[in-house]
Structure 1
């Protein structure tokens, strides 16, 4: 092989390595951003579950109170 061919192969190898590294870096950054977004969604989902449980407790309390009021009204009649 001539010197020019060897230089060309070395240059292509270096450029290919830099390109592969750049693509891998930006892919990693995209995955990190996705992980942050998913963590936010997970937090929101956990918060929604807690709030739903509180609402269920409140509805149960109101149902019990309504039952007591209905019983009081039946006893007045």
Structure 2
């Protein structure tokens, strides 16, 4: 009887080890996929900031041109 109990324990320990290994593997794969997605989001955010700065610079340039035009129109009156 004790041989049967020992065999069952060994099988349970082996199945538990394999189960833990499989769960850990898939958790690692999910973590890697999340890391790749976060890297892509970071890249997109950096591009968005660059574009936003370009738009801000262009708006400043247009604002200064508009101020010059207003000054010119006021000097004509």
What TM-score do you get using the length of structure 1 for normalisation? 0.96
Equivalent residue, structure 2, for 1:44: 44
**Unpaired segments ≥5 residues, structure 2:** none
> 1:34: Cα distance to partner?
0.6
Equivalent residue, structure 1, for 2:23: 23
- How is 1:1-77 mapped onto 2 (pairs within 5 angstroms)? 2-77=2-77
- Corresponding residue SS for 1:12: helix
What TM-score do you get using the length of structure 2 for normalisation? 0.96
- Corresponding residue SS for 1:32: helix
Q: Distance in 2 between matches of 1:55 and 1:37?
A: 27
**Unpaired segments ≥5 residues, structure 1:** none
User: Number of aligned pairs?
Assistant: 77
Structure 1 segments (4+ residues) deviating >2 Å: none
